[in-house]
Amino acid sequence: MTSRSDGSNLTVRSTLVRSLVVMAAAFTLASCGVNKIPTAEENAKAKWADVQAQYQRRADLVPNLVATVQAAGKQEQGTLVKVTEARAKATSVTLSAEDLTDPAKVKAYQDAQSQLSQALRGFTSIAEAYPDLKANENYVTLMSQLEGSDNRITVALRDYNAAVQSYNTIIRTFPDMIGAKIIYGAKPMAPFQAATGADKAPEVGKIFNGS
């Protein structure tokens, strides 16, 4: 009886030890950001998808806007060419979610988008020079949609940068940095820094109120 009892106790102890080891391992992995890191990464990537969608929405407005201005201001070919070329470059420079850890690629993308932002501001002066354009219902609608797009871009960029900041903080702080380096080989993501004034939407009210 004593032998059986000792064997039973040993089995119970072994099971308990194994359970404790498993629990300790699970706790260690959890404390190293095994779940937190990919969650933060996927959140940042989702926010980047929102940014891309808003930039594409703006780019889709440009052809109709150019055509409308071209019909009313035939002397403004220089501005229209700049806008068309800037749009072509902005849509040709792509940035996948996997490229977000490459600051050079992020900068190339943001520079292309900023160039389009600057080119689009030329439409403000064109509207001042052509009263008929101000009265063009299609132009008014397109400019209002452009303003809305730029506002959405600003919000999307803010949300993306906040997600990137959260992700970068997680992978750089202890103990999550252990899992980030050993398990995932995680790299910091690059925030999006728009050029000065690039986040300022066109002031449609000023254009059409003459103020």
Task: Quickly list DSSP for 151-164.
Answer: HHHHHHHHHHHHHH
What domains appear along the chain, each with residue ranges and CATH number? 36-173+190-209 (1.20.1440.20)
Which residue in this structure is represented by tokens 């899992």?
Answer: 179
Tokens of 210: 């003459």
Residue-level pLDDT at 7 = 54
Cα separation of 32 and 161, whole Å?
23
155: Cα separation from own chain's centroid: 10
pLDDT digits (tens, 9 = 90+) for 12-44: 555 554 544 444 444 444 445 578 889 999 999
pTM, two decimal places: 0.78
Half-sphere exposure of residue 97, counting CA atoms within 13 Å on the CB side? 11
Using 70 as the pLDDT threshold, list the residues of the chain that sit under it.
1-33, 73-74, 194-211
pLDDT of residue 22: 43
First to last CA, the chain: 100
Residue with tokens 């790299």: 187
The reported pLDDT for the residue numbered 207 is 43
Across the chain, what does the average pLDDT equal? 81
pLDDT digits (tens, 9 = 90+) for 143-159: 999 999 999 999 999 99
Which pLDDT score is estimated for 199?
46
